Structure 1
């Protein structure tokens, strides 16, 4: 186990929980690919600026967002992190979202970030407009990573 790889991943998730977008961008490489696995690789994001744009689509509108630590396993520069998130919308809805995230690091930064989660958890617990809000959001970040991950 590489403690430094796990430390980097935990730092990334602390920054994300704080919605410290500059710090999040500093944890990923210029060629990092981020994908929400439930939505597939055709809706990935690539690079710090676009990954932050992508993350903001879901997290910026929330009244509160927090990450809850769980099991983390590192094998060299590959890290698997089981955790959960609490999403609280301004309209009062709350969802606790179980997650497994896979990260690959290079030179102390994340170069691949794959989030595995159940989209039905957010669809069933979020505001009725949640999916409409997502489809109306800025999509300039979209990167088709099909065949790359």
Structure 2
């Protein structure tokens, strides 16, 4: 299975909210940066606990990958995190994700997106036209 296939399978398990399956794609010593500038989530157990905290928040997930590139042990993706929050706001966040693999599992994961704009969209503020264009590109 390619690295891209692994992440696509992880996404499908997330859409089904199968947290145990999602956690099985990562190593026990995973280092996960949910957002640049925030402290990392360290380890599979902490990662699984984090997923539990966002599970009900991200309703109708339609997370997708638009472009990708692989190297020896790394996958780079450009995509859109797409869901509806409990207040009914449709959130579409363009992002870049970097996944490092060891023995077929994700050992490091870094996501880069505009976290401040995400927080505004969570309250119902519409993103500007340029941001919307990125989400559709």
TM-score normalized with structure 2 length: 0.80
Which residue among 18, 33, 36 is the counterpart of 2:34? 36
Q: Secondary structure at the match of 2:7?
A: helix
1:94 paired residue number: 90
The residue correspondences of 1:23-62 to structure 2 (distance < 5 A) are: 23-40=21-38, 43-62=39-58
Cα distance, 1:15 vs structure 2: 1.9
Q: Aligned to 1:112, which of 108, 112, 116?
A: 108
Cα root mean square deviation, aligned: 1.8
Q: Which runs of 4+ in 1 moved over 6 A?
A: none
**Structure 1 spans left out of the alignment, 5+ residues:** 129-149
Q: Tell me the alpha carbon deviations over residues 24-82 of structure 1, each in whole angstroms, 9 at most, x when there is no partner.
A: 11000001111123343xx2112222112123333432332221221111102100011
Moved more, 84-93 or 3-12: 3-12
Number of residue equivalences: 124
The answer to whether the 8 Å contact 1:18/1:66 transfers is: no
Structure 2: gaps (5+ residues): 125-137
Q: Counterpart of 1:65? A: 61
Match of 1:145 in 2: none
Q: Which residue of 2 aligns with 1:134?
A: none
- Higher relative CO (Cα under 8 Å, sequence separation at least 6) belongs to 1
Partner of 2:7: 9
Task: Give 1:133's aligned residue.
Answer: none
